[in-house]
Amino acid sequence: MPTRLTLTQRADLTYKANKNAGRHGWLRLTPAYSLKIVQDQLAKLPRNSVVLEPFSGSGTTPLVAQEFGITCEAREINPFLVWFGNTKLDEYSGNDAKTFASSAHEVIKASSDKFPNDYWIPNLFQIEKWWTLPTLQALSALKHHINNYNGKVRNLLDVAFCRVLISSSNAAFNHQSMSFKAMPEYAVGLESTLFDKVLAEFEFEAKFILDTLCPLSRTAKIYEGDSTKPFDKFEPADLVITSPPYANRMSYIREMRPYMYWLGFLNSGSAAGELDWKTTGGTWGSASTKLKSWTPTDTIPIDSELNIVCEKILTGKSGEILSPYVRKYFHDMWSHFKEIKPVVKKGGRLCYIVGNSTFSGYEVPTHEWYAAMMNALGFNEVHINTIRKRNSNKKLFEYAVCATRP
């Protein structure tokens, strides 16, 4: 068992340490882990190594690999994150930077010419909870004019736009998940002031993006795909390093709805639910309904321990959803581990950063069950290192589960 003595909530091992680290700080996204963890692992590799990231999320691993000059292939099931990650990885010349700066200025000028307007806004459920009407007007104007551009410039404009989506919204990121603050009131006659404030925020965020466009040679790429499926076209890897979705019932699709709707990756609640169901650990929207009738089609090495915990969870609050959720999560991860083994070189290493969780007071020891599944597949040197305490809950920690392919 890994030791838990004297562990603290280390901000340097969370996304907070990424915020001021160039492109790593472009967006505050829930599926992000500390670049320092990746740096420590990649520092041990020769430059000609190949890294595989099967749950790319916001692209932390491939971007660190690229900064090290190491080849990295990554997979991600969420199309928005595939786009965002590859935008972070792209090469930007001095001319690209100049064109982006002038284009941002043109977008602001064009957007300021029409208030109010009747531009398109996405079909996001209860969109009025997210933004005031003047703010929505400004966002729709910005997006309307951003859409006139293409290529790298369009991508960078959209990243700046995504930053404004949250900075101008009523959403709060004061804890692990997203919530809403009380909708601010504004006096009649001040609508244009709020409109102009959003344009000023866009100008600020575009400048932030511009300042991060240092030269970076492309050595990494993210592919859209399901990591419970074969990695047939991937190069054999010296290191697999990743932080999969935790078994904590957090829906990353739900968290990223504003970006995905505004940028056209989603257009309905049903589409969001379908995508969430395909992800590892999806439980939001229609996925919740499907979970109630889901049953496993095979056995996995941790079934005896999993059955005991799931039976206990079933007796607690929302047990009819949470129990099959936990069960399906580990069946998905077993499928993943089976598919990842063939693409790891002999002597290659695995490093999975993951946290345990609790439901109705019962612990789900994700780290121990990952290790058990790795052992069952014949990996060597399987071990668990405790990284940090995750929050005030004494039971929750973050771990590195590591192994070597024989």
Buried b (16+ CB within 10 A) or exposed e, 167-202: ebbbbeeeeeebeeeeeeeeeeeebeebbbebbebb
**DSSP class of residue 362?**
E
Residues 6+ positions from 202 with CB-CB distance below 8 Å: 104, 107, 108, 142, 160, 161, 164
For residue 34, what pLDDT is reported?
Answer: 86
pLDDT of residue 125: 87
Number of independent structural domains in the chain: 2
Residues 375 and 291 in one domain: yes
Q: What is the pLDDT of residue 117?
A: 77
DSSP 3-state of 348: strand
**Residue 69 in domain:** yes
Residue 242 Rama label (left phi>0; alpha psi -120 to 50; beta): beta
Contacts of 365 (CB under 8 A, 6+ apart): 356
Same structural domain, 267 and 393: yes
Same domain, 227 and 107: no
Q: Which of 210, 243, 263 is the last residue of a domain?
A: 210
Last residue of a domain, one of 156, 190, 210: 210
Q: Which residues of the chain have pLDDT under 50?
A: 1-5, 9, 175
> Do residue 124 and residue 165 come from a single domain?
yes
Q: Are 176 and 355 in contact (CB under 8 A)?
A: no
Q: In this structure, is residue 86 part of a structural domain? A: no
Q: Do 226 and 205 share a structural domain? A: no
Instruction: Among 161, 176, 210, identify where a domain stops.
Output: 210
CATH number, residue 353: 3.40.50.150
Predicted local confidence at residue 248, as pLDDT:
86
Q: Are residues 121 and 198 in the same domain?
A: yes
The pLDDT, as a whole number, for residue 70 is 97
Other Cβ atoms closer than 10 A to 16 = 14
CA distance 77 to 229: 11
9: number of Cβ within 10 Å: 13
Point out which residues pair with 191 in neighbouring strands.
Answer: none
Cα 214 from Cα 205, distance rounded (Å): 16
- Residue 6 in any domain: the answer is no
DSSP, res 189: T
Domain that holds residue 183: 94-210
**166 and 237 housed in the same domain:** no
